[in-house]
Structures are given as C-alpha cells and as structure tokens.
Chain A
Amino acid sequence: DAGVTQSPTHLIKTRGQQVTLRCSPISGHKSVSWYQQVLGQGPQFIFQYYEKEERGRGNFPDRFSARQFPNYSSELNVNALLLGDSALYLCASSLEGSPFRNEQFFGPGTRLTVL
C-alpha cells in the first residue's frame, strides 16, 4: 500500500505570494494533520481535519488555511508569504476514533522556500 503522498516536493516563492500544498492520506485513513518544521526544530502542529471538518488548529495566523475533500485528501493554503514561512511542511494521516490506533504516519513533506 502507498504511504502518505505530498506534492509538490519543492517549491520556491517570493514574499507576498500565495501557495497551495497537497496531501493524499493512506488508504482508509480519514484524518489528516498538517505540521510545519523549521530547520533544526521539531514539527509544529498547524491543523487537523477529520471527515472534512476542522478538528484542531495550532497557533498560526489566519494566513494559513486548509480543507479536506470527500476522498480525504487535503490542501494547505498559505497567503501573503513571509520569509519566516520557509520550512518543511508535513502532512500526516491517522485512523480517527480508536484510542489504540492513533499513530500518525507522515509523508515526505514539501520544502517551501520564500525569497
């Protein structure tokens, strides 16, 4: 079975632009979470979606938004890019609803560079 897939792999944008990142979860997983990982740091939680509804939001500005589609894939949008948005953006999928099947499996990430 395929793991979590993300696209694109790399992206270069300039300040003020907008970007859309895409994620497809593992087959059968209905929950998708997004994380931002700045170089040298651990991943920081941005959003969690389950059954197309937002279930959690981290401490990120309103420039960050996301959505989940009926096939459980997800998009992360970032508007008005800043230099500080340069990071590895990670998508993770999991089985929701089971206390003992809550592992999150990560995709390879999208490396965003803002110039």
Chain B
Amino acid sequence: EDQVTQSPEALRLQEGESSSLNCSYTVSGLRGLFWYRQDPGKGPEFLFTLYSAGEEKEKERLKATITKKESFLHITAPKPEDSATYLCAVQARGNEKLTFGTGTRLTIIP
C-alpha cells in the first residue's frame, strides 16, 4: 500500500529564516510526486510535480527535490504570505489516485 509521511507536523519560522519540509514515501512504481499548498478552508493549490530521483523544480522561494525514498520542499527567505499547510502526495503507475500525507503546517512570523 502506498504511504506518505510528512515531517514536521508544524513549523514556525521567522521571516527570512530558510528551512526544509520532508516527505518520506513508499509507492509501488512512482508515476509522480506532487506538492500542494493549502490555505485554511480552501482546496489544495498545485505547486510541483517530480517524476524521478534527482529531479528539482523551483518556483519563487520554493524548491522541490526528490530521492528514491523522500522529497524535500526547501523554502528560502520565507515571507508571512508563505504561511500555509504544505501537502505531499504520490501517484502510482497505472493509477490516478493520489495518496496524501497529513501535511506540514508552516507559520512565518513577521
């Protein structure tokens, strides 16, 4: 069974303090690993797709990386507007289903 574990559950950072969020996964043939951002009471917003170990994607202050067992979301010099829950999900080959972790709730303090 596909599994995703995210850590930490919650993270508080000062504005400008860089850090990384972790996503450990097991999947029977990776089709894709996805990062989403979710604001309270809203649907997840797509950020990145990673397909294979060694791949990297960047968007503004966010950078996602992946190995065969885990993915990291690096946040550089975060701003208060980066505060949200960040969700990681995997999709197995031959399947549309996304298996999500429970998310990391990130708070950036001005």
- A contact residues vs B (CB 8 Å cutoff): 4, 31, 33, 35, 40-45, 48, 50, 55-56, 58, 88, 90, 92, 94, 96, 99-100, 102-109, 111
Contacts and interface: CB of A to CB of B under 8 A. Distances in A.
A103 B44 CA distance: 12
Contact of B43 (A58, A90, A100): A90
Mostly, the B contact residues are strand
Contacts of A105: 46
Given A33-B96, A106-B43, A40 B102 contact: yes
A111 B43 CA distance: 11
A94 B101 contact: no
Interface in B18-61: 31-32, 34, 36, 41-46, 49, 51
B65 interface: no
B43 A108 contact: yes
Contacts of B101: 42
A29 B95 CA distance: 16
Given A41-B102, A102-B31, A48 B96 contact: yes
B100 interface: yes
B75 interface: no
A74 to B, nearest CB: 13
B100 A96 contact: no
A4 B96 CA distance: 17
Given A45-B99, A58-B97, A102 B45 contact: no
Contacts of B4: 42
A43 B98 contact: yes
> 8 closest pairs, A vs B, by CB?
A42-B100, A106-B43, A45-B97, A48-B96, A106-B44, A108-B43, A109-B43, A42-B102
Given A43-B44, A104-B96, A104-B98, 17 more contacts: A4-B43, A31-B96, A42-B101, A42-B103, A43-B89, A55-B96, A92-B98, A102-B96, A103-B34, A103-B49, A104-B34, A105-B46, A106-B36, A106-B46, A108-B42, A108-B43, A109-B43
